[in-house]
A and B are shown apart, each in its own frame.
Chain A
């Protein structure tokens, strides 16, 4: 079945530091890949997505590239802000599996001023 593995947190960075959160997946076929963000006390919001190999999703300064050869979808941001503090979830849907999202375990990011 489908599975997603992402780096454990918490990740603690200073403001303006470079962020990478690693995500790798296991799936047959050609899944779509997503990053969702959950701010404290809130629901999940889509941050970005990519639906085919080599696609790059981007939003709010965050980027991730769908790498089929390494089955990865790492999240990056060049300069984080305190307001980026949240839990980030990598997820996939489809392939030869089902439409519902399969999530990674989440990575908490704490950005200090």
Chain B
């Protein structure tokens, strides 16, 4: 079974549309994350939830809204998509503790045309 799974893997959509990416982890972790990887491969944290509570909210346009219905799920909804939103979005999870490994999903490749 895949530990951190996210869907869809590929998404091509037009500017102005609203889309969601779903993430689920079956590792029993209490912390989940969304990272964005740009075209130059740079990775940056967007959001983090611990036990369904938002604990990290970086400087991200408010068109991006995460939702965590339970500890095992963290979805990302994006409104009014723009060309600059094209990127790979990675979901990840971990247990508490700074030395603990963060496990990543396979990524969702979003292309806005």
Chain B interface size, as a band, is 20 to 34
Which of B41, B98, B105 has a CB less than 8 Å from the CB of A99? B98
Across the interface, do A94 and B99 meet the contact criterion of CB distance under 8 Å? Answer: yes
Across the interface, do B56 and A100 meet the contact criterion of CB distance under 8 Å? Answer: yes
Q: Note all chain A residues with C-beta closer than 8 A to B103.
A: 46
From B13-21, B42-50, B70-78, give the one contacting chain A: B42-50
A to B contact number (C-beta, < 8 Å): 59
A26 at the binding interface (Cβ < 8 Å): no
Which residues 78-104 of B sit at the A interface, judged by CB distance below 8 A?
90, 94, 96-99, 101-104
Interface of A is mostly: strand
Q: Note all chain B residues with C-beta closer than 8 A to A81.
A: none
A87 at the binding interface (Cβ < 8 Å): yes
Q: Note all chain A residues with C-beta closer than 8 A to B42.
A: 103, 105-106
Chain A interface size, as a band, is 20 to 34
Binding site for B on A (CB under 8 A): 31-32, 34, 36, 38, 42-46, 49, 51, 87, 89, 93-95, 98-103, 105-106, 108
Q: Which 6 A-B pairs have the closest CB atoms?
A: A94-B98, A51-B99, A32-B99, A43-B106, A103-B43, A44-B104
